[in-house]
A and B are shown apart, each in its own frame.
Chain A
Amino acid sequence: MATCAKRICKLKTGLWRLAQDHLPTNRRVFPWRRLSLCWLSRTRRTWPEMTVTQPRFGPGDSKEAAELALDDAEAAEVPAVSPVIRYEYHVLYSCSFQVPVLYFRASFLDGRPLTLEDIWEGVHECYRTRLLQGPWDTITQQEHPILGQPFFVLHPCKTNEFMTPVLKNPQKINRNINYVTSWLSVVGPVVGLNLPLSYAQAASQDM
């Protein structure tokens, strides 16, 4: 675990910062114990995309009218009103499951939080089938173990299952991998956190 802590600190690529909870303690805390009290956090924003509003056609509209309406819409290029959403991601370590866990929350700029339904809606198409098999087993809301506030959580119970083959292969071909980077590249995209390739390149340059 001590080496894991060193690797996490090196994950300074981009906008991650290492947050640490300073609790009063009389005893010296060993480095791997401290791992359970700090977490990685990152925020990002989604901006509205420019889209063309499609006019709605009533049952009585003729074909010519429809074509005319479309032309007007193309000329106007009015952006659809879609709000900016602020995401905050935290990476914590679960001592119960002994794997990292992704906690996140999302809100509009005015501070209104997104609901669980909003989050499920926002999951990308390619993960939708898996999510619908068991939405409540995949993304739920829980209390952040350190901050105490409600966060959405990606369930950690399957993490070992998909990480084991990832860890086995590099040993065969003698390649170094960073556990957290690999894990995050799998789970992040499900909830809108896409990891650029530079993370992997930085990891393979380690040691």
Chain B
Amino acid sequence: MTDDKDVLRDVWFGRIPTCFTLCQDEITEREAEPYYNFPEKDLLHCPSKDAIEAHFMSCMKEADALKHKSQVINEMQKKDHKQLWMGLQNDRFDQFWAINRKLMEYPAEESGFRYIPFRIYQTTTERPFIQKLFRPVAADGQLHTLGDLLKEVCPSAIAPEDGGKKNQVMIHGIEPMLETPLQWLSEHLSYPDNFLHISIIPQPTD
């Protein structure tokens, strides 16, 4: 059996799927904290489903503003917007995608969206995220890749630091290849709000 520490490290980083059960003497009766002052000034408090729906829809509208100058989402009826939200809320893939697929289309004469909706999150800065205008296609018609995006808006993410410590570029918890075309990522790997939420995580030090 390998060192317990190594096994625990693998479990922590998700390399070994596990199921934990507590034995009886590990379970203690503890009263819940009676007071919790929600940090209203630092975190968005979501008091109701309406608040979350409003936030989700405003992200969708912003994404479409970037992709299609808001034309597609504004042409939709109120019930289509409702269907997007209900599909997400009730985990109904077909219901959601029946409408969302329209937001993933682009005119035949174009090679992609106008701009790609993305946000990059880093641990090394106070700034909440990086969001800029970025076209999926270069002037010469070449498709921009994930690597091209990072080089342009966040070069420190992929530039090797001293000692060769690289960063992990994650979307949905996986590392897509940097050569992946950004247009493809936007169509297939966006989150339900139609944004690509990209996390830059320092390589875990073993």
| Interface of A toward B, CB cutoff 8 Å | 21, 23, 36, 94-97, 111-113, 115-116, 136-137, 140-150, 155, 157
Contacts and interface: CB of A to CB of B under 8 A. Distances in A.
Nearest to B129: A145
B111 interface: no
B65 interface: yes
Given A23-B127, A95-B133, A142 B58 contact: yes
B41 A113 contact: yes
B54 A157 contact: no
A141 B58 contact: no
B50 A136 contact: yes
Interface centre among B44, B53, B57 (most CB of A within 10 A): B44
Interface in B151-177: none
A95 B132 contact: yes
Interface of A is mostly: loop
B131 A145 contact: yes
A116 B51 contact: yes
Interface in B6-47: 40-45, 47
Given A116-B51, A157-B65, A150 B41 contact: yes
Interface of B: 40-45, 47, 50-51, 53-55, 57-58, 61-62, 65-66, 70, 115, 117, 125-129, 131-133
Contacts of A111: 41
Given A112-B40, A113-B41, 12 more contacts: A94-B62, A95-B132, A141-B44, A141-B51, A141-B55, A146-B127, A148-B42, A148-B126, A149-B42, A150-B41, A150-B43, A157-B65
B195 to A, nearest CB: 10
19 contacts: A23-B125, A95-B132, A96-B115, A97-B70, A136-B54, A140-B51, A141-B45, A141-B51, A142-B44, A144-B128, A145-B129, A149-B42, A150-B40, A150-B43, A150-B44, A150-B45, A157-B61, A157-B65, A157-B70
